Amino acid sequence: MAKTKRKKFKFDLKDPKTKFALAAIAIIAVVVYGWYEQVYTPLHESVTALTERKTQLEAELMRINALKPQLDRLRQESIALEARLDSLKNIFPDRNEVPRLIRDLTAMNRKSNISTTRFTPKPDVVRDYYVENKYDVSITGNYHNIGELFSHLANFQLIVNLSNVTITANPGFTPGGNVRTTEGGAQAVERQPSVLATFELTTFSSRR
């Protein structure tokens, strides 16, 4: 059999083709390295960071979804507590509300047919956790009307305390009433209230 002759590869650096091939390989290597460093590596790091962030957000979302029933319950409790707080503020206000007190007492006086002859604020008494707001009050009316007013005060929205209560006959009371002549010359009978009551009224407000 005839032996086939193998063509030996001759690497000659002086050969222009070899030089061109080496130059082409070097250029490709530089381009590939530049692409790897400038494009691939930043993109890979960005994808990795975004993947980690996505994992964190998914875990956080799972925790939020797990806590949602508790958040709904806490929100409902907060609404109920706020309503309770508003109710308590009506009973135990943050400050001394004199206009409101006068307005409410005037309404009760009208219901009970009572007249207030004195309403004098006194110095407040400061306690550890609250303030006592005191007033000297004098009222006139008949005995039944005054009893009705005290009943209204017992069911007053504010916390009210009555002390030093004194009930006496009204000095200006006349059993048959006082006769008064009107401008037209007619006579009319004015009936004066039979009872005079004085007392110290105390309300309470929170101490800030």
The CATH number given to 98-206 is: 3.30.70.60
The reported pLDDT for the residue numbered 188 is 47
Q: Is the pLDDT of residue 175 over 90?
A: no
Q: Is the pLDDT of residue 126 over 70?
A: yes
pLDDT, tens digit (0-9, with 9 covering 90-100), for 11-62:
566 677 777 777 788 888 888 888 878 888 888 888 888 888 888 888 888 8
pLDDT, tens digit (0-9, with 9 covering 90-100), for 73-86:
878 877 777 776 66
Work out the pLDDT band at 88, boundaries 50, 70, 90.
Answer: low
Token pair of 81 as six digits: 């507590």
Radius of gyration for the alpha carbons in the chain, expressed in angstroms and rounded: 48
pLDDT, tens digit (0-9, with 9 covering 90-100), for 49-69:
888 888 888 888 888 888 777
Angle of CA points 111, 109, 200, to nearest 5°: 140
Report percent pLDDT > 70 for the chain: 75
Indicate the average pLDDT of the chain: 78
CA atoms within 13 A on the CB side of 89: 9
Q: Which of 137, 150, 124 is nearest to 205 (CA)?
A: 124
Work out the pLDDT band at 142, boundaries 50, 70, 90.
Answer: confident
| pTM of the predicted protein model | 0.51
Residue 197 corresponds to which amino acid? A
Token pair of 34 as six digits: 């530049």
Q: Are 140 and 114 in contact (CB under 8 A)?
A: yes
Domain parsing of the chain, residue ranges:
14-90, 98-206
